[in-house]
Amino acid sequence: TLGTKLSAAVGLVGLSAVAGLLVTAMVTPVVALTGVTATSTLGVFANLPEYIKPDKLAEKTNIYAVDASGANVLLASVFEQDREEVPWEQISQFAKDAVISTEDPRFYVHGGVDLAATFRAALGNAASGGVESGASTISMQYVKNILVQRAEAITDPAERQLAYEQATETSIDRKLQEMKLAIGLEKQFTKSQILLGYLNIASFGGVTYGIQSASKYYFGVDAANLSLAQAASLIATVNEPNGLRIDDPDNVPANQ
């Protein structure tokens, strides 16, 4: 109805305005404290697409030979990203619970953007004078990972680097982009689909991507068989997968 459409429009305008103020304080706390706000917030929201479609994930290619008994024997695996995508039922509940509890406790409550967490992050960053928290939900992190994957698939080195920087930079525009696309993502997919997509796309250090390959590489088990401690150790690295790699002895205290 017309009333519903008007309400939705007002809601988007309100969200974009509030988000702009919060993101300004969150990303540039010193500027926010001086009274400067994101005056172009509405324009940023209006110019963004409503929805981002997850791309097919890069996976490794296995090369087999047939032995004398007729059985397949793995000769080699070729990949730029060591990933083995798995369905929902082949991931340990410990891993699902760990990523929600550490990355986004209100995952099943919000609609892609947790404004309460964003507000807390804005206050904390303003108080510290630095950017210590980004308040990104799992849906927002999924969006970021999709954009990073697209950047890494670009063949031209200069274009690839530019796209990667745009997908990872600390800026108001990028955070607003993630917010709007996360809201659109939640309208298209269930929470389980988003969580599954995130666990399959996430980097776990080096060329190891996705919860299944990470489980095999670091612990020698399938994702379905991860223990509580193993799942917690893996999920602890997702925000800084190379800096917190659990196969680096120097990182053990940081991951505990």
Per residue in 45-66, pLDDT (tens digit) is: 566 667 788 878 765 556 656 6
Angle at CA of residue 104, ends 119 and 224, nearest 5°: 175
Among 27-41, 117-131, 141-155, 204-218, the least confident range: 27-41
| pLDDT at position 213 | 94
* Residue 9 identity (one-letter amino acid): A
Give the residue extent of every domain in the chain.
Answer: 2-255
pLDDT surpassing 50 at residue 32: no
Q: What pLDDT does 11 receive?
A: 39
Token digits of residue 112 = 């892609």
For the segment 199-214, what is each residue's pLDDT rounded down to a tens digit? Answer: 999 999 988 999 999 9
So what's the pLDDT on residue 249? 75
Residue type, 81: Q
Least confident interval from 191-195, 197-201, 215-219, 247-251: 247-251
Question: Between 134 and 142, where is the model more confident?
Answer: 142
50 closest CA partner among 201, 187, 198: 187
Q: Is 129 left (phi over 0), alpha (psi -120 to 50) or beta?
A: left
Instruction: Report the 10 Å Cβ neighbour count for 170.
Output: 11
For the domain 2-255, what is the CATH code? 1.10.3810.10
35 φ/ψ angles, rounded to the nearest 5 degrees: 100, 5
Please provide the DSSP assignment of the chain as one string. Answer: -HHHHHHHHHHHHHHHHHHHHHHHHHH-HHHHHTT---TTHHHHHHHS-S--PPPPPP--EEEEEE-TTS-EEEEEEE-SSB-----GGGS-HHHHHHHHHHH-TTTTTSSS--HHHHHHHHHHHHHHTS-------HHHHHHHHHHHHHHHT-SSHHHHHHHHHHHH---HHHHHHHHHHHHHHHHHS-HHHHHHHHHHH-B-STTBBSHHHHHHHHHSS-GGG--HHHHHHHHTTTTSTTTT-TTSGGGHHHH-
Size (the chain), residues: 256
